[in-house]
Amino acid sequence: MKEVIIFEVFVSNLKMNMSYIVEFRRRRVIYPLLAFALGIAAIYHLAALISPSSFPSSPVWRHSLFLLLDTVALLLSARRWIWLWIPFTMFTMQQLISHGFRAYDWWTLYHRVDTISIILIVFMPLVCAFLFYDFRFRVRQ
């Protein structure tokens, strides 16, 4: 009986350690990917600031604002800030609303697919869910 208890404790500790290793590796990959994606978005908005005639769909102030937001989110994700899920959730909601309507308009009015909006609509909620999951995991540790 004592050996069974010792074995169960060993197995539960092994599972806990393995889940921590898997989560650490997952975080080590996803946070840099998030920072990279935010960097690309910041470069997109910077290009729109430099050449506004190439991006006529949005005003210059909007690109300025999103350049700032993308840069701040990039820095916070590069630092793996534990509370990033809160502002990123608000950012995701705003992006879903604006890009959701934009994708709908492009599809209904122009019969075109807005690739950027589709990518944002699919991946931002997934990243938001990961950030919340990572927050919960790190709080439990």
- Exposure of 23 by Cβ count < 10 A (0-12 exposed, 13-18 middle, 19+ buried)? middle
In the chain, the number of structural domains is: 2
Asked if residue 121 and residue 69 are part of one domain, the reply reads: no
Domain of residue 88 covers 82-141
- The domain boundary, picked from 33, 52, 79, lies at 79
pLDDT at 28: 79
Q: Is the pLDDT of residue 7 over 60?
A: no
pLDDT in tens, 111-122: 999 998 999 999
pTM score over 0.85 = no
